[in-house]
Every structure is written in C-alpha cells, then in structure tokens.
Amino acid sequence: MVSQTIYIAVMNYMLMKESFIDKKIAKKLDGHVKKFLDAKKEIEKAVIGQEEVVSFILEALVAKGHVLLEGVPGTGKTLLVRSLASVLGGSYSRIQFTPDLLPTDIVGVTSYEEGKGFYVMKGPVFANFVLTDEINRSPPKVQSALLEAMQEKQVTIGKESFALPAPFFVMATQNPVENLGTYQLPEAQLDRFLYKLLITYPSIDDEEIILESNITLKSFDVSSFKKILSEKDLVEIQELVKEIYIDDKIKRYIVRLIDATRYPRNYNLDLGSKYIGFGASPRGSIALFIAAKARAFMQQRTYVTHKDVKDVAFPVLRHRVLLNFEGQAEGISTEEIIKEILHKVPLLE
C-alpha cells in the first residue's frame, strides 16, 4: 500500500514535469479551457441542478464521443442539447423516435422530380448537435441507422456517402420508467456511446429556481445565450485533447481495468465473478483512454492521472459491463461491480 502511494506521488511529479515540457500545448490549452468553462457556466444558467451531467457531456464532446442519457421525462434533456448548440455555436436537430419511424426519416432519401431528375434530401442527422429522443421506442433497424453516423461520421443515402458536419455530437435519451412499446438497444449500438449518464430529479432548491425559468411559460430564446465558441474552435479543441500526455503505466492500468470485466476471477472479484455475463470490448479501452484525456482537459491539465481514469470509469463502463441472468434476477447494479473493479485492480502490477 505504501509503495503504491509513493509510486503515485512520483508518477504525479513526473507527469507535472512532462506537462511543463510542452509549453505550446499548455498555452493552447489554457485559452481553450477558459472558454469551455465559460460555456459550461452559460449552459448551467438554463439547465438547473445538473452540473455533473453538463460536465460529462462537455467531456464527451471534446473527446468526439456521444452520450446516452437515461432519465425520466421532464428533467431537461431537450433543453440541455438546445442550450449546448446555442452556446457552443452549431446547428441543432431533434429526432423523436417512434415505432413507425423509418431509417430514411433519419439519414435522408433519394427523390426524383420531373425536370430536376434525382436529388438527395438530407435528413435531420445532418446537424452539429443531434438529439435522438426516446431512442428505445423504435425497432433495431431504425436504431442501426445511427450506427454509421456515430462511428464513421458519415451516412449513405442511396449509392452515395455524405460526410456529416464537424463537430458532430449525438445525445440519445431513453426512458427507464416505461417498458411498453420499447426495444432494447443492441450491444453494438450501446458500444458506440462514449458515456451513459443518469439524469436524476433536481433538489428542492433547484426546482424552485426551475419554476421561474421554465420554457413552458417563457419561450426558448436563442439570443439570450452568449455564444462562447464556434464550430472551428470545437474542432481545434478536439484535436488538442488528443495531444494530452498519458503515461504507459496509466495505459496499462486502463487495459487491466477492462480485462477485469472479462476475466473477473483473475482479479479476485466476488461480485464480478458471479454476475458478469459479458465484459467490455476493446472499444471500452479506447473510450477510457480518450475520456481520461478529456477529463484532464476539463481539469486544465496537459497530462492524465489515474484519478482521471477512475472518475470516468462509471459512465464509460456502466453500459458495457453486461450482467448475466442471475445478476439481473437479484437486482445487482453494474455500479456495484465497477466499484469493486476500481477497488481491487491496483495501479501497480
């Protein structure tokens, strides 16, 4: 235990030393982080009582990831994305998923008009910020229409492929309360989301503020938001985040955390050995890697620490660690298993 504490202290010192070496990155980071924190404050003026959720969403955005947001209706999910688009400068679209929705309703369709010939009508997915509301209300063939867009940043309409605008961010919502008329998201699609976030009810004090600021009585006014960043700024930030330093020991730690979800007995996990059905894929390792860099960026650092990895482990893994039937029957949560993994997988090998 002592040796691990000493190692962490030495590691943090070496990482700090590394951060001062690349002054060019540090200088760029300072300016961009300040703007981003200003943007966060501006968004929180409209979205009351969800500071942690807003922080995670901004992290996912700078990491070029997408977010699956689970929460009951009326907790401000739509307002959050609209505010995000207004403050960060970009186009916004909302897709309401319903049982009769078609893939062409999302990506677009090739049409024909006499005198004009064949032409492409692009769908609502062609926007910087896309809200897919109640994604689990449509069948898998419709949900899969988003797979190419989310992973490849392009869609195919007819025989042509079209690049999506940059930056491109998808926030999908699902309602955990109603099961009637819903479809379980395929594992392949769940894996495309960098984070799965849980949005909860606001506190009593926050809800009092919401009463006065709600858009039921006051229309959503884009001009009331201060535009902090542009699309070009966001793309530059996303490229900058890739340059944040991460030590080989931290990389190894990330890989071992993911390995523990696949082979829990090798790490003496009690809950994991009994209740994990399937562990995280290699995309889970990549997600932890880039999410930790995004967390370091939001903390105004040019290097990643093991704490950054731990801080993003829950939203990265909660939809990637799948329980077996026994775990589901006994009501075991993936949160408990992730907590056990973080506790029992040491930084040192």
Whether 296 and 243 have beta carbons less than 8 Å apart is answered as no
Query: How do residues 59-91 score in pLDDT, each as one tens digit?
Result: 999 999 999 998 777 777 777 888 888 888 788
**Distance separating alpha carbons of residues 67 and 56, to the nearest angstrom:** 9
Nearest to 171 by CA among 238, 101, 44, 84: 84
**Distance separating alpha carbons of residues 346 and 266, to the nearest angstrom:** 13
Question: Does residue 19 have a pLDDT over 50?
Answer: no
Query: How do residues 174-208 score in pLDDT, each as one tens digit?
Result: 877 556 667 777 787 888 899 999 887 877 887 88
What is the token pair recorded at 157?
């309409």
Rounded to an integer, the average pLDDT of 249-259 is 95
Percentage of residues in the chain having pLDDT higher than 70: 87
Question: Does residue 21 have a pLDDT over 50?
Answer: no
Q: Which pLDDT score is estimated for 289?
A: 97
Distances in whole angstroms, Cα of residue 166 to Cα of each of 16, 51, 150, 154, 174: 32, 25, 12, 11, 25
pLDDT band, residue 2 (cuts 50/70/90): very low
Question: Does residue 118 have a pLDDT over 90?
Answer: no
Q: Which pLDDT score is estimated for 4?
A: 55
Query: How do residues 256-278 score in pLDDT, each as one tens digit?
Result: 999 999 999 999 999 989 999 99
Rounded to an integer, the average pLDDT of 234-253 is 91
Question: Does residue 286 have a pLDDT over 60?
Answer: yes
What is the token pair recorded at 167?
């930056």
End-to-end CA distance of the chain: 12
Percentage of residues in the chain having pLDDT higher than 90: 35
How much helix, strand and coil, in percent to the nearest 5, is found in the chain? Answer: 55, 15, 30
Radius of gyration (C-alpha) of the chain in whole angstroms: 21
> Mind listing the domains of the chain with CATH numbers?
1-22+243-349 (1.10.8.80), 52-233 (3.40.50.300)
Identify the sign of the CA torsion 72, 193, 338, 197. negative
